[in-house]
């Protein structure tokens, strides 16, 4: 089965529209985040280095949603890299707990001064994200850490 670019773009937008409910904001509000640029660059560089396929896919998203996509991918990459970066599984659990508290603070409107948290907090102004989505990812990562402790 061969898909044309138009068909693929339709599917991408259709899936995106189901996952994210875009809030209507003026372009002035969306683009007036000069202090957010370093955080967006951090997320972009992280995704470009460790997940180049999703970095390239980010250009297919509408401009306001590109940073939402990059923030979510960077969050996932941070959690994936915990397993490779920690020598002791207990340290991995501490880092997961840090992210659990960070996500709680982001959804309370008090994000810490961490680039990914800043981008995710700004993403809440652009679209409606569910904290359940992030907590599921965290729960799955903690089971991977627990598996490392057992083995």
pLDDT tens digit sequence for 99-111: 999 999 999 999 9
* pLDDT for residue 143: 86
**Average pLDDT value for residue range 133-140:** 93
Element (H, E) at 50: helix 37-50
pLDDT confidence tier of residue 25, bands split at 50, 70 and 90? very low
In angstroms, how far apart are the furthest CA atoms of the chain?
Answer: 52
The CA R_g of the chain, rounded to the nearest whole Å, is 17
Do strands 21-22 and 127-128 pair parallel, antiparallel, or not at all (unpaired)?
Answer: antiparallel
* pLDDT for residue 142: 87
* pLDDT for residue 151: 59
Burial class (CB in 10 A: 0-12, 13-18, 19+), 84: exposed
- The tally of CA atoms less than 13 A away on the side-chain side of residue 34 is 0
Going from the C-alpha of 128 to that of each of 37, 68, 78, the distances in angstroms are: 21, 10, 22
Instruction: Give the number of other CB atoms < 10 A from CB of residue 111.
Output: 20
């Amino acid at each position: 089965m061969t898909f044309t670019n138009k068909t693929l773009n339709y599917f991408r937008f259709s899936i995106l529209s189901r996952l994210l409910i875009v809030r209507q904001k003026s372009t002035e509000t969306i683009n007036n985040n000069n202090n957010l640029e370093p955080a967006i660059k951090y997320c972009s560089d992280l995704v470009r280095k460790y997940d180049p396929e999703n970095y390239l896919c980010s250009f297919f998203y509408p401009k306001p949603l590109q940073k939402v996509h990059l923030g979510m991918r960077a969050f996932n990459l941070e959690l994936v890299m915990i397993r490779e970066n920690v020598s002791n599984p207990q340290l991995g659990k501490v880092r997961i707990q840090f992210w659990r508290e960070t996500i709680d603070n982001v959804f309370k409107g008090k994000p810490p001064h961490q680039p990914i948290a800043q981008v995710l907090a700004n993403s809440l102004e652009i679209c409606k994200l569910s904290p359940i989505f992030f907590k599921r990812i965290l729960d799955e990562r903690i089971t991977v850490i627990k598996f490392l402790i057992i083995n």
